[in-house]
Amino acid sequence: MSEFRSPTQGRGGERGPFRSVVPFGRVFGVPLRLHWSAPLLVVVLGLSLGAGTLPGWAPGRSHATYTLAGIAGALLLLASLLLHEGAHAVVARRAGVEVQDMTVWALGGATLMGRADRPRAAFKIAFAGPLTSLLLGGLGLGAAVGLLRGAHWTVPGDVLLRCGWANLLLAGFNLLPAAPLDGGRVLQAAVWWRTGDRSRAERAAGRAGQLAGALLIGIGVLVLLRGGLAGLWLMLLGFFITATAWAEAQQATVRTLLHGVRLSQVMSSPVATGPDWLTVDRFLEDVALTSHHTHLPVLGLEGRPTGVVSVRRLAQAPSAARSVTRVSQVAQPIEHTPLAGPEEDLADVLQRLTPGMPMRILVMDGGRLVGIVTAHDVSRLLQQRLTVTGRGSGAF
């Protein structure tokens, strides 16, 4: 599954369901993050294989043999998910698309990346994951047949057999034409190529995802009513797909509304600023309390911005330390603050923001600070445009 950055995503923390994640090294040079549910997936699958499936297929082995084989099978499946997501990342980088990270969790994985600038590149990125799973599935089944018929290694052969089928199932499911699944990205690329309208393609994939999610929820309910616990998993997956697809369709609408808007049309100007060498208490008294802005650029000796500080961050500084703490010590450094020109397209600039980055953009004209764009400015513009188009504020 590939997940794309959006100008309307929250910037203050983790996105979507991936709030409880930990860094876990790099795969193909891309930061890997594990959700707490990923180890749980390994344990559940390992126990299921070792305690139930393998003893039925290859009786007469020791409990330790089944346990180790079950854990190995679960780890192989986890490695398959990593290779699936890694394929997205490798192809995306070759296409010049920025890749932020990969996350693995109980329902699969997600690769957070930028957006391809051509339908062909978008198609290749989306199809790379399922193609990798198909290849892994074929290799797994081939190796299983060799072990079962040639060497008569029943336990490892059965583990590979099930991993092979699991990869084929993963590929088939991901190719369903519904966002955020890879098939939805393929559909999006096809509609984009056919119509030349990217936003229309994104909305089409989002609507297909909502329909697919609703169907999965319905199937899950039926399975659960018949006593199958797998219905819970199907319902959870359906809710996730429905919610994500709805969000993506809304984001496509937002991008359409923001397209063609220059920063000069939405920025707050003039901007209240203050020297970065002031102490926190002096900055609060001389600058923050006399301004209606909640985010204030701080300037260096040459008059150029060195960072941005929020009023909330200033207020959080301990009272006893405010008289000795310089505002430069609590401000967000300029290296982590996007800069843009007043004539740049708002949607394009927002697309450059990385996840976790607060939505505040300093607008520079010839080295001079002329304005600032915050989440409040963008929200106000969206409300105005929604009112004009008659969509109403309830759409978002």
User: In 137-257, which ranges are E strands?
Assistant: none
User: If the chain, 396 residues long, is cut into consecutive pieces of 10 residues, what is the mean pLDDT of each piece?
Assistant: 44 46 82 81 74 71 80 86 91 90 79 87 94 95 87 81 90 90 92 90 90 93 86 87 87 81 88 89 87 86 88 87 90 87 87 71 88 87 76 45
Task: For the chain, give every domain's residue range.
Answer: 2-258, 263-395
Determine the pLDDT at residue 185.
92
The predicted structure's pLDDT at residue 29: 85
Residue 280 Ramachandran class (φ > 0 left, ψ -120 to 50 alpha, else beta): alpha
* Distant-in-sequence, close-in-space partners of 210: CB < 8 Å, separation ≥ 6: 242, 245, 246, 249
pLDDT digits 0-9 by tens, 101-151? 888 876 677 888 888 889 999 999 999 999 999 999 999 999 999 888 876
| pLDDT for the residue 89 | 92
pLDDT of residue 74: 84
CATH code, residues 263-395: 3.10.580.10
Contacts of 390 (CB under 8 A, 6+ apart): none
The pLDDT of residue 12: 35
Q: Which of 85, 248, 285, 343 is catalytic?
A: 85
Element (H, E) at 370: strand 368-374
* pLDDT tens digits along 306-330: 989 988 888 888 888 888 899 999 9
Nearest CA-CA partner of 169 in 192, 123, 137: 137
The CA distances from residue 106 to 45, 115, 137, 195, 250, in Å, are: 11, 25, 19, 36, 26
Q: Is 85 marked active-site?
A: yes
Tell me if 163 sits within 8 A of 77, measured CB to CB: yes
